[in-house]
């Protein structure tokens, strides 16, 4: 899936900022793509970008209206349909991260066809994939993997891309989830790919590069230790063919999210991920540890990270609090 940028962020009439977290995430990581926002009366969210009409957005070069909201059930409210149809008639593509496909609404489907516009349902891939081949391809790849799901793999990958680019490195974030696709403009929602083709989809996300020095920074999903999501994790691990792994962790959990399975140790995660990754890249190594320390005071966080770095001989950081420069430097110097 490839989205045309820049974006107009549609917030509807959501009741709070949390309901617009997708749009807010896009603004956080790709502000240069966010030309404006479109809000209906009663909207309580604000992304901090200009309020624009559809005509104003088109005049400013907007290519895609992104429905940047989340809601229970992932459905498009009926009273938003008029705005979506008007966007299509104004010459914009429309992209949605909701579960319900846009074209399931007959008015939206007809407007897209009549105006030659594209509807993007980023939770649903618009292409088919080959099975993974495991063939060595040019360039370098780093994959974020986790002790659990929802430990910050997307933010780790995005912060790492930012740090690598600040060092002058040739690096691109590769999205494997719906919010990441909006942020990168390209990607595959891996958890919606048929199991046999997950590795092939990961190969498509991170294809052969034009340069030996190009890095694909790949957003991870799930955990090899999670009984619900290990299948997605292993397919992504094999298909992405990483040269480097970043271990992502949340230090206050004792069981894995949503299940009673005990949380594995960081060493267990390093060992199993390296063992599995060697199937498609025998030279893979671990490059660092990224920790979500939000639940810790800053002095506690720094002490905890210093302990991890000493124990594992790897740079350890919180990507949001302290950035990823040390891990970027290791990739630049040692890989």
Domain closes at, from 121, 155, 174: 121
8 A C-beta contact, residue 66 and residue 10: yes
Specify the pairing of strand 140-146 against strand 244-249.
parallel
Mean pLDDT of 100-123: 95
Mean pLDDT of 305-312: 98
Same domain, 99 and 231: no
Mean pLDDT of 73-99: 93
Which residue from 150, 238, 228, 226 is spatially nearest to 200, judged by alpha carbons? 238
pLDDT at residue 94, rounded to an integer: 98
Specify the CATH number for the domain of residue 113. Answer: 3.40.50.720
Q: Is residue 132 part of a domain?
A: no
Mean pLDDT of 206-231: 96
Q: Is residue 134 part of a domain?
A: no
Q: Has residue 333 got a pLDDT over 80?
A: yes
Same domain, 101 and 203: no
Mean pLDDT of 135-145: 97
Q: Which residue has the higher pLDDT, 189 or 270?
A: 270
Cβ-in-10-Å burial (0-12, 13-18, 19+) of 4 comes to middle
Please count the structural domains in the chain: 2
- pLDDT category at 126 given cuts 50, 70, 90 is confident
Same domain, 148 and 203: yes
Same domain, 190 and 83: no
Q: Is residue 307 part of a domain?
A: yes
150 Cβ contact partners less than 8 Å away, ≥ 6 residues apart: 250, 257
Length of the chain in terms of residues written: 335
Domain closes at, from 60, 92, 121: 121
Range(s) of the domain holding residue 150? 140-334
């Amino acid at each position: 899936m490839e989205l045309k940028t820049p974006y107009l962020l549609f917030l509807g009439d959501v009741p709070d900022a949390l309901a617009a977290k997708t749009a807010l995430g896009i603004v956080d990581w790709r502000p240069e793509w966010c030309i404006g926002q479109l809000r209906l009366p009663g909207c309580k969210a604000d992304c901090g970008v200009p309020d624009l009409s559809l005509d104003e957005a088109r005049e400013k070069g907007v290519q895609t209206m992104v429905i940047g909201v989340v809601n229970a059930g992932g459905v498009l409210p009926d009273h938003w349909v008029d705005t979506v149809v008007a966007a299509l008639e104004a010459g914009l593509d429309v992209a949605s991260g909701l579960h319900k496909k846009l074209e399931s609404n007959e008015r939206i489907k007809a407007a897209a066809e009549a105006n030659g516009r594209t509807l993007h349902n980023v939770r649903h891939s618009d292409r088919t994939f080959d099975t993974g081949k495991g063939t060595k391809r040019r360039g370098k790849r780093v994959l974020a993997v986790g002790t659990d799901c929802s430990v910050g793999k997307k933010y780790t990958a995005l912060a790492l891309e930012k740090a690598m680019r600040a060092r002058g490195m040739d690096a691109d974030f590769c999205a494997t989830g719906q919010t990441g696709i909006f942020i990168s403009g390209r990607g595959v929602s891996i958890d919606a790919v048929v199991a046999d083709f997950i590795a092939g989809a990961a190969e498509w996300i991170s294809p052969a590069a034009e340069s030996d020095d190009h890095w694909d920074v790949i957003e991870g999903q799930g955990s090899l230790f999670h009984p619900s999501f290990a299948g997605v994790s292993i397919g992504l691990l094999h298909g992405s063919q990483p040269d480097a792994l970043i271990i992502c962790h949340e230090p206050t959990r004792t069981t894995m999210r949503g299940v009673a399975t005990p949380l594995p140790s960081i060493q267990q995660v390093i060992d199993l991920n390296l063992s599995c990754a060697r199937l498609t890249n025998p030279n893979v190594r671990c490059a660092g540890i990224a920790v979500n320390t939000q639940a810790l005071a800053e002095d506690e966080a720094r002490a905890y990270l210093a302990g991890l770095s000493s124990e594992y001989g790897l740079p350890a950081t919180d990507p949001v609090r302290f950035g990823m420069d040390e891990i970027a430097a290791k990739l630049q110097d040692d890989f």
